[in-house]
Chain A
């Protein structure tokens, strides 16, 4: 048995009992400085290598984004956007996409499976595949469209912020590898203040609209961006300007959760018995699952 490390829990999906709160552990954060990002994809590869994931060999569809979207085995990827301003000055805006580790995580709120999504006291939002029922509600709940359901095992996956590394005192794999220092990691407090310093430096360099992206609509995030054009976040391959959790998720969670929860649980149990009798099913594709 490998040595296991653990982290204090702050919130747990589909659980009403309050979490313990005597110990206080410092919140962590990852800061992505877009002005220093060269889109080399080292973070993508390091993520694959550390987390023992391998993406399918795809095709080129006319862009540098490869794979072309996040998947159960690609938890981060570079999104490239060619943008010309009114004077025809070209920018190639490159954004590392992946879980933002929201302080108020829509996925966790939406999740009906107890303990399938946890938020540690350091701010990391982690998916526990052993408890996941594959319902896809986390996708609906996510304002950034991040989680993906695996076709192999019908579980939801996304960036863990390398919780296994952070738990033993290391930085996430993507942070460590980043060749240009575009990704940094530390306490949330330090990252906010570093992000503000970078913002100022970029403003002095001529990027008047530089800013720190730490959106309040989701309570702030534990993955933040420094953007040269923070006034036009959508230019960065559709980064939402003011993300918030869908009102449907909040409603569902507030009023109907206990009932719905029971329903989901029964479904899950039924699934379990079905499995014991019949064996595993091949899972339908993600879309139909979402619609279902």
Chain B
């Protein structure tokens, strides 16, 4: 409903009720409240991604998971079964819907070339290819196999990485495994801060 339609509907309601006042309408015994918007949504349980109280949340997605329906989260509420939060959420958690749908979410890989003033959209393939090329070049050039005492050290410390502390354990595990596999030592995480 756009704004103009909204005005029209309201105006019609106003007219209607004024007419009712003049005695043309029976008294309603019930009043309809706003429709309950979660009646047929799909529920998915999850964990709030903010602080480490790690409250249980229920995400309500539009539709019933039918093939032709694209799921979209319309509401997030606390999970009453969760032993820690028992259905409650703090202001951040209560606003999760706006984080999920933030206009500042990134949607596509982009590059900012040297000295450029702007982003340019690129494909995932181009992103991976260019990043891997940078990494391999740097690694091949600066990898240290032995230190000056002749001890095998097999380290790469000219490309650094700082890892998320909001990623899942599974992401974290794959991240540390691949970083160590490449020989990275300049490797740290937000968790330290």
Contacts and interface: CB of A to CB of B under 8 A. Distances in A.
Q: Do A and B come from one complex?
A: yes
Interface of A: 2-9, 12, 14-15, 17, 19-20, 40-42, 44-46, 48-50, 113-116, 118, 120, 126, 128-133, 152-153, 155, 160, 163-168, 173, 176-179, 181, 261, 265, 268-269, 271-272, 275-276, 280
Contacts, number: 151
B14 A131 contact: yes
B182 interface: no
A202 B18 CA distance: 51
Interface string B16-49: 1110111000011111111111010000000000
Given A9-B30, A128-B31, A167-B33, A269 B6 contact: no
Contacts of A20: 29
A160 B33 CA distance: 9
A5 B30 CA distance: 10
Given A126-B33, A272-B11, A276-B11, 4 more contacts: A6-B33, A7-B30, A177-B90, A261-B21
Nearest to A114: B21
Nearest to B6: A153
Interface of B: 3-4, 6-7, 9-11, 13-18, 20-22, 27-37, 39, 75-78, 85, 87-95, 97-98
Nearest to B39: A3
A46 B6 CA distance: 25
A5 B35 contact: yes
Nearest to B55: A179
A114 B32 CA distance: 15
B32 A42 contact: no
Contacts of A164: 33-37
Contacts of B95: 45, 48-49
Contact of A129 (B3, B10, B36, B93): B10
B141 to A, nearest CB: 48
Contact of A7 (B10, B22, B33): B33
A253 to B, nearest CB: 15
B15 A272 contact: yes
B181 to A, nearest CB: 42
B33 A46 contact: no
Contact of A178 (B28, B34, B88): B88
A42 B94 contact: yes
Given A3-B35, A3-B39, A50-B75, A272 B90 contact: no
Contact of A115 (B4, B28, B75, B89): B28
Contacts of A153: 6-7, 10
A130 B10 contact: yes
B124 to A, nearest CB: 33
